[in-house]
A and B are shown apart, each in its own frame.
Chain A
Amino acid sequence: MTIKESQDRIIEDFAAFEEWTDKYEYIIQSGEDLPPMDPQYKTDDNLIRGCQSRVWLHADFKDGLLHFTADSDAQITKGLVSLVTTVLSGQSPADIADAELFFIDAIGLRSHLSPTRANGLLAMLKQIKMYALGYKVQQAQKN
Protein backbone atom coordinates (compact mmCIF):
# COMPACT_ATOMS: atom_id res chain seq x y z
CA MET A 1 0.00 0.00 0.00
CA THR A 2 1.25 3.49 -0.74
CA ILE A 3 1.42 6.18 1.88
CA LYS A 4 -1.62 7.81 0.37
CA GLU A 5 -3.60 4.60 0.24
CA SER A 6 -3.04 3.75 3.88
CA GLN A 7 -4.01 7.26 4.88
CA ASP A 8 -7.18 7.03 2.83
CA ARG A 9 -7.99 3.78 4.56
CA ILE A 10 -7.73 5.36 8.01
CA ILE A 11 -9.89 8.27 6.90
CA GLU A 12 -12.47 5.79 5.61
CA ASP A 13 -12.50 4.00 8.97
CA PHE A 14 -13.08 7.28 10.76
CA ALA A 15 -15.87 8.35 8.41
CA ALA A 16 -18.03 5.58 9.85
CA PHE A 17 -17.82 6.94 13.39
CA GLU A 18 -20.69 8.96 14.75
CA GLU A 19 -19.53 9.58 18.29
CA TRP A 20 -16.29 11.20 19.35
CA THR A 21 -15.82 8.28 21.71
CA ASP A 22 -15.64 5.88 18.73
CA LYS A 23 -12.76 7.89 17.33
CA TYR A 24 -10.86 7.76 20.58
CA GLU A 25 -11.57 4.07 21.08
CA TYR A 26 -10.05 3.41 17.68
CA ILE A 27 -7.00 5.54 18.38
CA ILE A 28 -6.41 4.04 21.81
CA GLN A 29 -6.86 0.53 20.39
CA SER A 30 -4.32 1.32 17.64
CA GLY A 31 -1.88 2.19 20.39
CA GLU A 32 -2.50 -1.13 22.08
CA ASP A 33 -2.01 -2.94 18.78
CA LEU A 34 1.37 -1.32 18.30
CA PRO A 35 4.02 -4.04 18.63
CA PRO A 36 5.96 -3.45 21.84
CA MET A 37 9.17 -1.58 21.33
CA ASP A 38 12.34 -3.55 21.91
CA PRO A 39 13.59 -2.23 25.27
CA GLN A 40 17.09 -1.82 23.83
CA TYR A 41 15.72 0.96 21.62
CA LYS A 42 13.87 2.73 24.43
CA THR A 43 16.89 4.86 25.14
CA ASP A 44 17.32 8.52 25.87
CA ASP A 45 18.84 8.91 22.42
CA ASN A 46 15.59 7.76 20.88
CA LEU A 47 13.46 9.84 23.22
CA ILE A 48 11.58 12.74 21.73
CA ARG A 49 10.68 15.04 24.53
CA GLY A 50 7.26 16.55 24.17
CA CYS A 51 6.29 18.95 26.90
CA GLN A 52 3.94 16.57 28.67
CA SER A 53 4.01 13.14 27.06
CA ARG A 54 7.10 11.33 25.85
CA VAL A 55 7.65 9.53 22.54
CA TRP A 56 10.41 7.07 21.63
CA LEU A 57 11.25 6.47 18.00
CA HIS A 58 13.68 4.03 16.40
CA ALA A 59 14.37 3.78 12.67
CA ASP A 60 15.72 0.72 10.81
CA PHE A 61 16.92 0.93 7.23
CA LYS A 62 16.71 -2.39 5.37
CA ASP A 63 16.69 -3.23 1.67
CA GLY A 64 16.07 0.35 0.70
CA LEU A 65 13.08 0.77 3.02
CA LEU A 66 12.66 2.53 6.35
CA HIS A 67 10.97 0.77 9.25
CA PHE A 68 9.90 2.54 12.39
CA THR A 69 9.22 1.26 15.86
CA ALA A 70 7.86 3.62 18.45
CA ASP A 71 6.24 4.02 21.84
CA SER A 72 4.70 6.69 24.05
CA ASP A 73 3.80 6.97 27.71
CA ALA A 74 0.42 8.53 26.85
CA GLN A 75 -2.27 6.32 25.36
CA ILE A 76 -3.75 8.78 22.87
CA THR A 77 -0.34 9.91 21.68
CA LYS A 78 0.68 6.27 21.39
CA GLY A 79 -2.37 5.59 19.24
CA LEU A 80 -1.50 8.43 16.90
CA VAL A 81 2.12 7.32 16.86
CA SER A 82 0.90 3.87 15.89
CA LEU A 83 -1.17 5.26 13.01
CA VAL A 84 1.75 7.35 11.77
CA THR A 85 4.19 4.45 11.84
CA THR A 86 1.66 2.20 10.11
CA VAL A 87 1.35 4.74 7.33
CA LEU A 88 5.07 5.40 6.92
CA SER A 89 6.82 2.18 7.89
CA GLY A 90 8.13 0.04 5.04
CA GLN A 91 8.25 2.92 2.57
CA SER A 92 11.27 4.31 0.78
CA PRO A 93 13.13 7.29 2.24
CA ALA A 94 12.25 9.36 -0.81
CA ASP A 95 8.53 8.62 -0.50
CA ILE A 96 8.56 9.37 3.21
CA ALA A 97 10.50 12.58 2.72
CA ASP A 98 8.00 13.77 0.12
CA ALA A 99 4.88 12.48 1.86
CA GLU A 100 2.20 14.80 3.00
CA LEU A 101 0.46 13.52 6.11
CA PHE A 102 -3.08 14.68 5.56
CA PHE A 103 -4.90 12.04 7.56
CA ILE A 104 -4.39 13.58 11.01
CA ASP A 105 -6.18 16.72 9.90
CA ALA A 106 -8.85 14.74 8.07
CA ILE A 107 -9.78 12.69 11.14
CA GLY A 108 -10.15 15.88 13.16
CA LEU A 109 -7.03 15.64 15.28
CA ARG A 110 -5.07 18.50 13.82
CA SER A 111 -4.79 20.06 17.25
CA HIS A 112 -2.38 17.24 18.08
CA LEU A 113 0.06 18.75 15.64
CA SER A 114 -0.08 22.22 17.14
CA PRO A 115 3.16 23.28 18.78
CA THR A 116 1.26 24.36 21.88
CA ARG A 117 0.00 20.83 22.43
CA ALA A 118 3.62 19.75 22.68
CA ASN A 119 2.76 16.06 22.94
CA GLY A 120 5.76 14.82 21.01
CA LEU A 121 3.83 13.87 17.88
CA LEU A 122 4.92 16.88 15.88
CA ALA A 123 8.50 16.41 17.01
CA MET A 124 8.27 12.74 16.06
CA LEU A 125 7.07 13.61 12.56
CA LYS A 126 9.98 16.01 12.17
CA GLN A 127 12.36 13.28 13.31
CA ILE A 128 10.89 10.81 10.82
CA LYS A 129 11.29 13.32 8.02
CA MET A 130 14.88 13.91 9.08
CA TYR A 131 15.68 10.19 8.97
CA ALA A 132 14.02 9.92 5.57
CA LEU A 133 15.88 12.90 4.18
CA GLY A 134 19.17 11.59 5.56
CA TYR A 135 18.76 8.18 3.92
CA LYS A 136 17.44 9.74 0.74
CA VAL A 137 20.59 11.86 0.42
CA GLN A 138 22.78 8.88 1.33
CA GLN A 139 21.15 6.75 -1.37
CA ALA A 140 21.39 9.47 -3.96
CA GLN A 141 25.12 9.73 -3.28
CA LYS A 142 25.56 5.98 -3.69
CA ASN A 143 23.76 5.86 -7.03
Chain B
Amino acid sequence: MKVVETMVQIPLDLEKIRLDFPILHTTVNGKPLVYFDNGATTQKPLAVTRAIETYYNTYNSNVHRGVHTLSQKATIAYEESRTTVAGFINAKPEELIFTKGTTDAINLLAYTFGKQFIKEGDEIIISAMEHHSNIVPWQLCCEDRKAVLKVVPINDKGELEMGEYEKMLSDKTKLVAITYVSNTLGTVNPVKDIIALAHARNIPVMLDAAQAVQHIAIDVKELDVDFMAFSGHKLYGPTGIGALYGKESWLEQLPPYQGGGDMIKTVSFDKTVYADPPLRFEAGTPNIAGAIGMAAGVKYLIGIGLDKIATTERVLTEYALEQLSSIDGLRLIGTAEHRGPTFSFIIGNSHPTDVGELLDMQGIAVRTGHHCTQPLMDLFCIPGTARASLSFYNTPEEIDRLVDGIHKAMKLLKK
Protein backbone atom coordinates (compact mmCIF):
# COMPACT_ATOMS: atom_id res chain seq x y z
CA MET B 1 0.00 0.00 0.00
CA LYS B 2 1.25 3.48 -0.84
CA VAL B 3 0.92 6.60 1.26
CA VAL B 4 -1.57 8.08 -1.21
CA GLU B 5 -3.77 4.97 -1.20
CA THR B 6 -3.69 5.02 2.57
CA MET B 7 -4.52 8.70 2.79
CA VAL B 8 -7.73 8.33 0.77
CA GLN B 9 -9.06 5.81 3.28
CA ILE B 10 -8.66 8.24 6.15
CA PRO B 11 -11.95 10.02 6.82
CA LEU B 12 -10.36 12.89 8.75
CA ASP B 13 -8.67 16.04 7.51
CA LEU B 14 -5.44 15.35 9.38
CA GLU B 15 -3.80 18.59 8.37
CA LYS B 16 -6.65 20.53 9.91
CA ILE B 17 -6.78 18.35 13.02
CA ARG B 18 -3.08 18.72 13.61
CA LEU B 19 -3.57 22.48 13.88
CA ASP B 20 -5.41 21.77 17.13
CA PHE B 21 -2.16 20.38 18.60
CA PRO B 22 0.54 23.08 18.61
CA ILE B 23 3.22 20.66 19.84
CA LEU B 24 2.93 18.61 16.64
CA HIS B 25 4.47 21.54 14.77
CA THR B 26 7.61 21.75 16.89
CA THR B 27 11.03 20.30 16.09
CA VAL B 28 13.19 17.89 18.06
CA ASN B 29 16.93 17.65 17.41
CA GLY B 30 16.39 19.90 14.42
CA LYS B 31 13.77 17.63 12.80
CA PRO B 32 10.00 18.01 12.72
CA LEU B 33 8.63 16.03 15.66
CA VAL B 34 7.07 12.63 14.99
CA TYR B 35 5.24 11.83 18.19
CA PHE B 36 4.76 8.08 18.52
CA ASP B 37 4.57 7.85 22.30
CA ASN B 38 0.83 8.27 22.60
CA GLY B 39 0.54 5.17 24.74
CA ALA B 40 2.50 6.94 27.46
CA THR B 41 0.49 10.12 27.12
CA THR B 42 -1.31 11.83 24.27
CA GLN B 43 -0.79 15.43 23.25
CA LYS B 44 -3.41 17.99 24.25
CA PRO B 45 -5.61 19.91 21.86
CA LEU B 46 -6.07 23.66 22.37
CA ALA B 47 -9.64 22.93 23.48
CA VAL B 48 -8.21 21.29 26.60
CA THR B 49 -5.53 23.81 27.49
CA ARG B 50 -7.97 26.66 26.87
CA ALA B 51 -10.63 25.13 29.11
CA ILE B 52 -8.11 24.86 31.94
CA GLU B 53 -6.91 28.41 31.35
CA THR B 54 -10.45 29.76 31.32
CA TYR B 55 -11.24 27.98 34.56
CA TYR B 56 -8.22 29.39 36.38
CA ASN B 57 -8.57 32.86 34.87
CA THR B 58 -12.29 33.38 35.21
CA TYR B 59 -13.99 31.13 37.77
CA ASN B 60 -11.35 29.43 39.90
CA SER B 61 -12.92 28.54 43.22
CA ASN B 62 -13.34 25.53 45.49
CA VAL B 63 -16.24 23.16 44.85
CA HIS B 64 -19.11 21.83 46.96
CA ARG B 65 -18.51 24.30 49.73
CA GLY B 66 -19.62 27.83 49.02
CA VAL B 67 -22.74 29.79 48.27
CA HIS B 68 -20.81 32.47 46.49
CA THR B 69 -21.22 32.73 42.75
CA LEU B 70 -17.76 31.55 41.73
CA SER B 71 -17.91 28.49 43.92
CA GLN B 72 -21.27 27.58 42.46
CA LYS B 73 -19.93 28.09 38.99
CA ALA B 74 -16.92 25.89 39.70
CA THR B 75 -19.12 23.23 41.31
CA ILE B 76 -21.42 23.19 38.31
CA ALA B 77 -18.45 22.92 35.93
CA TYR B 78 -16.91 20.11 37.98
CA GLU B 79 -20.16 18.15 38.13
CA GLU B 80 -20.87 18.80 34.46
CA SER B 81 -17.43 17.42 33.70
CA ARG B 82 -18.40 14.29 35.59
CA THR B 83 -21.57 14.03 33.51
CA THR B 84 -19.58 14.50 30.30
CA VAL B 85 -16.95 11.89 31.12
CA ALA B 86 -19.62 9.47 32.39
CA GLY B 87 -21.70 10.06 29.27
CA PHE B 88 -18.64 9.28 27.13
CA ILE B 89 -18.78 5.66 28.37
CA ASN B 90 -22.58 5.67 28.75
CA ALA B 91 -22.50 5.69 32.56
CA LYS B 92 -24.53 7.70 35.00
CA PRO B 93 -22.64 10.54 36.72
CA GLU B 94 -23.21 8.84 40.10
CA GLU B 95 -21.22 5.90 38.81
CA LEU B 96 -18.11 7.88 37.95
CA ILE B 97 -15.48 8.61 40.57
CA PHE B 98 -12.79 11.10 39.67
CA THR B 99 -9.33 9.79 40.57
CA LYS B 100 -5.75 10.80 39.89
CA GLY B 101 -5.61 8.33 37.03
CA THR B 102 -5.82 4.63 36.24
CA THR B 103 -3.32 3.65 38.91
CA ASP B 104 -5.23 5.57 41.56
CA ALA B 105 -8.53 4.09 40.35
CA ILE B 106 -7.25 0.51 40.57
CA ASN B 107 -5.76 1.12 44.00
CA LEU B 108 -9.06 2.57 45.16
CA LEU B 109 -10.91 -0.50 43.97
CA ALA B 110 -8.32 -2.99 45.25
CA TYR B 111 -8.45 -1.46 48.71
CA THR B 112 -12.19 -1.00 49.07
CA PHE B 113 -13.28 -4.15 47.26
CA GLY B 114 -10.64 -6.15 49.10
CA LYS B 115 -11.74 -4.84 52.46
CA GLN B 116 -15.40 -5.54 51.78
CA PHE B 117 -15.37 -8.76 49.80
CA ILE B 118 -12.04 -10.63 49.83
CA LYS B 119 -11.42 -13.28 52.45
CA GLU B 120 -8.65 -15.77 53.11
CA GLY B 121 -8.29 -18.27 50.28
CA ASP B 122 -10.31 -16.22 47.79
CA GLU B 123 -8.91 -15.69 44.33
CA ILE B 124 -8.46 -12.69 42.06
CA ILE B 125 -7.72 -13.21 38.38
CA ILE B 126 -5.48 -10.95 36.31
CA SER B 127 -3.54 -11.71 33.12
CA ALA B 128 0.07 -12.07 32.00
CA MET B 129 -0.11 -8.86 29.97
CA GLU B 130 -1.08 -6.48 32.76
CA HIS B 131 0.60 -3.15 33.44
CA HIS B 132 2.26 -3.00 36.86
CA SER B 133 -0.68 -0.78 37.85
CA ASN B 134 -2.99 -3.74 37.46
CA ILE B 135 -0.65 -6.18 39.20
CA VAL B 136 0.79 -4.56 42.28
CA PRO B 137 -2.45 -3.21 43.83
CA TRP B 138 -3.88 -6.75 43.63
CA GLN B 139 -0.72 -8.23 45.10
CA LEU B 140 -1.05 -5.80 48.00
CA CYS B 141 -4.71 -6.72 48.34
CA CYS B 142 -3.97 -10.47 48.26
CA GLU B 143 -1.20 -10.07 50.81
CA ASP B 144 -3.50 -8.14 53.08
CA ARG B 145 -6.48 -10.48 52.71
CA LYS B 146 -4.44 -13.72 52.43
CA ALA B 147 -5.99 -14.24 49.02
CA VAL B 148 -4.47 -15.79 45.90
CA LEU B 149 -3.61 -13.99 42.67
CA LYS B 150 -4.18 -16.06 39.52
CA VAL B 151 -2.64 -15.10 36.18
CA VAL B 152 -4.23 -15.97 32.83
CA PRO B 153 -1.44 -16.98 30.41
CA ILE B 154 -1.03 -15.68 26.86
CA ASN B 155 0.08 -17.34 23.62
CA ASP B 156 3.09 -16.45 21.43
CA LYS B 157 1.11 -13.83 19.56
CA GLY B 158 0.22 -12.08 22.79
CA GLU B 159 -3.39 -13.21 23.01
CA LEU B 160 -5.10 -14.41 26.16
CA GLU B 161 -5.51 -18.17 26.53
CA MET B 162 -9.27 -18.04 26.93
CA GLY B 163 -9.52 -21.76 27.64
CA GLU B 164 -7.16 -21.36 30.57
CA TYR B 165 -9.14 -18.38 31.78
CA GLU B 166 -12.33 -20.35 31.73
CA LYS B 167 -10.73 -23.16 33.70
CA MET B 168 -9.41 -20.68 36.26
CA LEU B 169 -12.84 -19.33 37.14
CA SER B 170 -14.21 -21.01 40.25
CA ASP B 171 -16.32 -20.43 43.32
CA LYS B 172 -13.21 -19.01 44.95
CA THR B 173 -12.87 -16.29 42.30
CA LYS B 174 -14.07 -12.96 43.70
CA LEU B 175 -12.95 -10.59 40.95
CA VAL B 176 -11.48 -10.56 37.46
CA ALA B 177 -9.25 -7.55 36.73
CA ILE B 178 -7.97 -7.52 33.16
CA THR B 179 -6.72 -5.00 30.67
CA TYR B 180 -8.91 -4.13 27.70
CA VAL B 181 -5.95 -3.25 25.47
CA SER B 182 -2.33 -4.17 26.18
CA ASN B 183 -0.05 -1.13 26.43
CA THR B 184 2.93 -3.21 25.26
CA LEU B 185 1.54 -5.68 22.73
CA GLY B 186 -1.38 -3.67 21.36
CA THR B 187 -3.64 -6.71 21.84
CA VAL B 188 -7.34 -5.93 22.14
CA ASN B 189 -8.79 -8.54 24.48
CA PRO B 190 -12.18 -10.22 23.96
CA VAL B 191 -13.71 -8.37 26.88
CA LYS B 192 -17.30 -9.33 26.07
CA ASP B 193 -16.42 -13.01 26.43
CA ILE B 194 -14.31 -12.35 29.51
CA ILE B 195 -17.24 -10.59 31.17
CA ALA B 196 -19.85 -13.12 30.06
CA LEU B 197 -17.84 -16.05 31.41
CA ALA B 198 -17.28 -14.33 34.75
CA HIS B 199 -20.90 -13.22 35.06
CA ALA B 200 -22.07 -16.76 34.45
CA ARG B 201 -20.56 -17.41 37.88
CA ASN B 202 -21.65 -14.08 39.35
CA ILE B 203 -18.08 -12.81 39.43
CA PRO B 204 -17.60 -9.08 38.79
CA VAL B 205 -15.08 -7.79 36.26
CA MET B 206 -12.87 -4.71 36.29
CA LEU B 207 -11.37 -3.52 33.04
CA ASP B 208 -8.17 -1.52 32.88
CA ALA B 209 -9.20 0.72 30.01
CA ALA B 210 -6.16 3.03 30.14
CA GLN B 211 -5.23 2.01 26.58
CA ALA B 212 -8.78 1.47 25.34
CA VAL B 213 -10.91 4.57 25.88
CA GLN B 214 -8.85 6.67 23.45
CA HIS B 215 -9.25 4.12 20.65
CA ILE B 216 -12.53 2.28 21.11
CA ALA B 217 -16.01 3.67 21.76
CA ILE B 218 -17.01 2.03 25.03
CA ASP B 219 -20.53 1.54 26.32
CA VAL B 220 -20.30 0.19 29.87
CA LYS B 221 -23.98 -0.72 29.91
CA GLU B 222 -23.74 -2.75 26.76
CA LEU B 223 -20.50 -4.37 27.94
CA ASP B 224 -22.15 -4.93 31.32
CA VAL B 225 -18.74 -4.36 32.92
CA ASP B 226 -18.76 -3.83 36.70
CA PHE B 227 -15.77 -1.53 37.10
CA MET B 228 -13.53 0.31 34.67
CA ALA B 229 -10.44 2.44 35.20
CA PHE B 230 -8.92 5.01 32.84
CA SER B 231 -6.66 8.07 32.73
CA GLY B 232 -7.34 11.57 31.45
CA HIS B 233 -3.84 12.15 30.13
CA LYS B 234 -4.01 9.22 27.71
CA LEU B 235 -7.36 10.54 26.51
CA TYR B 236 -6.10 13.92 25.27
CA GLY B 237 -6.75 15.49 28.69
CA PRO B 238 -4.43 16.71 31.44
CA THR B 239 -2.32 14.62 33.83
CA GLY B 240 -3.41 14.02 37.41
CA ILE B 241 -7.00 13.12 36.57
CA GLY B 242 -8.74 9.89 35.67
CA ALA B 243 -11.78 7.90 36.61
CA LEU B 244 -13.12 4.75 38.12
CA TYR B 245 -16.47 3.66 36.79
CA GLY B 246 -18.46 1.34 39.02
CA LYS B 247 -22.00 0.04 38.74
CA GLU B 248 -24.16 1.87 41.25
CA SER B 249 -25.09 -1.39 42.97
CA TRP B 250 -21.41 -2.13 43.56
CA LEU B 251 -20.26 1.34 44.58
CA GLU B 252 -22.97 1.52 47.21
CA GLN B 253 -21.48 -1.51 48.93
CA LEU B 254 -17.90 -0.27 49.02
CA PRO B 255 -16.41 1.41 52.11
CA PRO B 256 -14.56 4.74 51.86
CA TYR B 257 -10.98 4.76 50.60
CA GLN B 258 -9.60 7.90 52.19
CA GLY B 259 -11.12 10.09 54.87
CA GLY B 260 -11.44 13.85 54.78
CA GLY B 261 -13.59 16.69 53.59
CA ASP B 262 -16.20 16.29 50.87
CA MET B 263 -16.63 12.53 51.45
CA ILE B 264 -18.93 12.83 54.46
CA LYS B 265 -22.55 13.66 55.21
CA THR B 266 -22.04 14.49 58.89
CA VAL B 267 -19.06 14.21 61.19
CA SER B 268 -19.07 13.89 64.94
CA PHE B 269 -16.53 12.31 67.23
CA ASP B 270 -18.94 9.46 67.92
CA LYS B 271 -20.07 8.70 64.42
CA THR B 272 -19.35 9.94 60.95
CA VAL B 273 -21.83 9.32 58.18
CA TYR B 274 -20.26 8.95 54.79
CA ALA B 275 -21.54 10.58 51.65
CA ASP B 276 -23.10 8.52 48.89
CA PRO B 277 -21.01 7.53 45.88
CA PRO B 278 -19.24 9.04 44.05
CA LEU B 279 -18.34 11.73 46.61
CA ARG B 280 -17.71 9.04 49.25
CA PHE B 281 -14.56 8.22 47.30
CA GLU B 282 -13.39 11.76 46.61
CA ALA B 283 -11.92 13.00 49.88
CA GLY B 284 -10.48 16.49 49.91
CA THR B 285 -10.47 19.22 47.32
CA PRO B 286 -10.53 17.40 43.99
CA ASN B 287 -8.56 18.14 40.83
CA ILE B 288 -11.11 20.64 39.54
CA ALA B 289 -9.05 21.95 36.65
CA GLY B 290 -8.17 18.36 35.75
CA ALA B 291 -11.80 17.28 35.60
CA ILE B 292 -12.68 20.31 33.47
CA GLY B 293 -9.73 19.57 31.17
CA MET B 294 -10.63 15.89 30.91
CA ALA B 295 -14.20 16.74 29.96
CA ALA B 296 -12.94 19.22 27.37
CA GLY B 297 -10.80 16.46 25.85
CA VAL B 298 -13.73 14.08 25.74
CA LYS B 299 -15.91 16.72 24.08
CA TYR B 300 -13.18 17.36 21.55
CA LEU B 301 -13.09 13.66 20.63
CA ILE B 302 -16.87 13.47 20.37
CA GLY B 303 -16.76 16.53 18.12
CA ILE B 304 -14.35 14.77 15.76
CA GLY B 305 -16.41 11.59 15.87
CA LEU B 306 -15.38 8.39 17.61
CA ASP B 307 -16.19 6.32 14.53
CA LYS B 308 -13.95 8.46 12.35
CA ILE B 309 -11.18 8.22 14.93
CA ALA B 310 -11.53 4.43 14.97
CA THR B 311 -11.45 4.20 11.16
CA THR B 312 -8.42 6.47 10.93
CA GLU B 313 -6.55 4.49 13.53
CA ARG B 314 -7.45 1.21 11.83
CA VAL B 315 -6.06 2.48 8.53
CA LEU B 316 -2.90 3.72 10.25
CA THR B 317 -2.54 0.40 12.07
CA GLU B 318 -2.76 -1.59 8.85
CA TYR B 319 -0.28 0.67 7.11
CA ALA B 320 2.16 0.61 10.02
CA LEU B 321 1.90 -3.17 10.30
CA GLU B 322 2.60 -3.60 6.62
CA GLN B 323 5.54 -1.18 6.65
CA LEU B 324 7.13 -2.47 9.85
CA SER B 325 6.74 -6.09 8.78
CA SER B 326 8.68 -5.32 5.62
CA ILE B 327 11.79 -4.44 7.61
CA ASP B 328 14.26 -7.33 7.55
CA GLY B 329 15.55 -8.03 11.04
CA LEU B 330 12.69 -6.33 12.86
CA ARG B 331 10.69 -8.52 15.20
CA LEU B 332 7.27 -7.40 16.33
CA ILE B 333 6.47 -8.34 19.92
CA GLY B 334 2.73 -8.83 19.90
CA THR B 335 1.06 -10.02 16.74
CA ALA B 336 -2.50 -10.47 17.91
CA GLU B 337 -5.33 -10.75 15.44
CA HIS B 338 -7.27 -7.97 17.15
CA ARG B 339 -4.99 -5.06 17.86
CA GLY B 340 -4.70 -1.35 18.36
CA PRO B 341 -2.14 1.10 16.93
CA THR B 342 0.63 0.12 19.35
CA PHE B 343 3.73 -1.66 18.04
CA SER B 344 6.47 -3.08 20.20
CA PHE B 345 9.53 -4.20 18.33
CA ILE B 346 13.13 -5.25 18.67
CA ILE B 347 15.84 -5.11 16.04
CA GLY B 348 18.19 -8.06 15.84
CA ASN B 349 19.91 -8.28 19.18
CA SER B 350 20.05 -4.50 19.57
CA HIS B 351 19.23 -2.95 22.87
CA PRO B 352 15.95 -1.01 22.67
CA THR B 353 17.55 2.09 24.23
CA ASP B 354 20.00 2.32 21.33
CA VAL B 355 17.16 2.17 18.84
CA GLY B 356 15.17 4.72 20.83
CA GLU B 357 18.08 7.14 21.04
CA LEU B 358 18.88 6.92 17.34
CA LEU B 359 15.22 7.53 16.49
CA ASP B 360 15.13 10.48 18.87
CA MET B 361 18.09 11.99 17.02
CA GLN B 362 15.82 11.95 13.97
CA GLY B 363 12.98 13.67 15.79
CA ILE B 364 10.97 10.48 16.32
CA ALA B 365 9.65 9.92 19.84
CA VAL B 366 9.12 6.27 20.80
CA ARG B 367 9.26 4.70 24.19
CA THR B 368 11.85 2.10 25.16
CA GLY B 369 12.05 -0.27 28.08
CA HIS B 370 9.74 -2.73 29.73
CA HIS B 371 6.70 -0.39 29.61
CA CYS B 372 5.81 -1.28 33.19
CA THR B 373 5.14 -4.85 32.08
CA GLN B 374 8.20 -6.66 33.40
CA PRO B 375 6.55 -10.08 33.75
CA LEU B 376 5.57 -9.84 30.09
CA MET B 377 9.16 -9.04 29.05
CA ASP B 378 10.34 -12.08 31.02
CA LEU B 379 7.80 -14.18 29.17
CA PHE B 380 9.23 -13.10 25.82
CA CYS B 381 12.80 -13.35 27.24
CA ILE B 382 13.71 -9.80 26.22
CA PRO B 383 14.96 -6.84 28.31
CA GLY B 384 12.46 -4.51 26.72
CA THR B 385 11.24 -3.19 23.41
CA ALA B 386 11.00 0.00 21.46
CA ARG B 387 7.35 0.93 21.19
CA ALA B 388 5.64 3.14 18.67
CA SER B 389 2.10 4.00 19.72
CA LEU B 390 -0.04 5.97 17.31
CA SER B 391 -2.95 8.34 17.52
CA PHE B 392 -5.46 9.50 14.92
CA TYR B 393 -3.43 12.69 14.50
CA ASN B 394 -0.47 10.74 13.16
CA THR B 395 -0.03 10.43 9.41
CA PRO B 396 1.13 7.73 6.98
CA GLU B 397 4.09 9.99 6.12
CA GLU B 398 5.13 9.86 9.76
CA ILE B 399 5.02 6.07 9.61
CA ASP B 400 7.33 6.29 6.59
CA ARG B 401 9.66 8.48 8.60
CA LEU B 402 9.68 5.87 11.36
CA VAL B 403 10.57 3.15 8.85
CA ASP B 404 13.36 5.30 7.36
CA GLY B 405 14.51 6.12 10.86
CA ILE B 406 14.67 2.45 11.80
CA HIS B 407 16.71 1.69 8.68
CA LYS B 408 19.14 4.46 9.58
CA ALA B 409 19.41 3.19 13.15
CA MET B 410 20.00 -0.35 11.88
CA LYS B 411 22.79 0.87 9.64
CA LEU B 412 24.50 2.63 12.54
CA LEU B 413 24.06 -0.36 14.81
CA LYS B 414 25.26 -2.62 11.96
CA LYS B 415 22.13 -4.80 12.09
Enumerate chain A interface residues (CB-CB to B < 8 A).
20-21, 24-25, 28, 51-53, 73-77, 119
Contacts and interface: CB of A to CB of B under 8 A. Distances in A.
B413 A75 contact: yes
Given A52-B369, A52-B383, A119 B353 contact: yes
Nearest to A27: B412
A138 to B, nearest CB: 36
A52 B29 contact: no
Interface stretch (B158-166, B202-210, B354-362): B354-362
B38 to A, nearest CB: 20
A53 B357 CA distance: 12
A50 to B, nearest CB: 9
Interface in B322-367: 350-354, 357-358, 361
A76 B356 CA distance: 11
Interface in B359-415: 361, 368-369, 383-384, 408, 412-414
6 contacts: A24-B358, A25-B412, A28-B412, A51-B369, A75-B413, A77-B354
Contacts of A75: 350-351, 354, 413
A11 to B, nearest CB: 20
Contact of B351 (A21, A24, A53): A53
Contact of A74 (B29, B353, B414): B353
A21 B408 CA distance: 9
Nearest to B357: A76
Contacts of B413: 28, 75
A105 B351 CA distance: 23
Contacts of B350: 75
A74 B412 contact: no
Nearest to A23: B361
Contacts of A74: 351, 353-354
Given A28-B412, A73-B351, A20 B383 contact: no
Nearest to A75: B354
A22 to B, nearest CB: 10
Given A24-B361, A73-B383, A52 B412 contact: no
Interface string B27-65: 001000000000000000000000000000000000000
B257 to A, nearest CB: 31
Nearest to B351: A74
Interface string B77-118: 000000000000000000000000000000000000000000
Contacts of B353: 52-53, 74, 76-77, 119
A24 B412 contact: yes
Contacts of B354: 74-77
Please indicate which of the listed interface residues B350, B354, B361, B413 has the most CB atoms of chain A within 10 Å of its own CB.
Answer: B354
B382 to A, nearest CB: 12
A21, A25, A51, A75: which has the most chain B beta carbons within 10 Å? A75
Interface in B275-334: none
A73 B368 CA distance: 15
A77 B352 CA distance: 12
B361 A52 contact: no
Given A52-B352, A77-B354, 20 more contacts: A20-B29, A20-B361, A21-B412, A24-B358, A24-B361, A24-B412, A25-B412, A51-B369, A52-B353, A52-B368, A52-B369, A52-B383, A53-B351, A73-B383, A74-B353, A75-B350, A75-B354, A76-B353, A77-B351, A77-B353
A53 B368 CA distance: 11
Contacts of B368: 52
Contacts of B369: 51-52
Contacts of B408: 21
Nearest to B353: A52
Contacts of B412: 21, 24-25, 28
A5 to B, nearest CB: 29
B174 to A, nearest CB: 35
A76 B351 CA distance: 9
Contacts of B357: 76
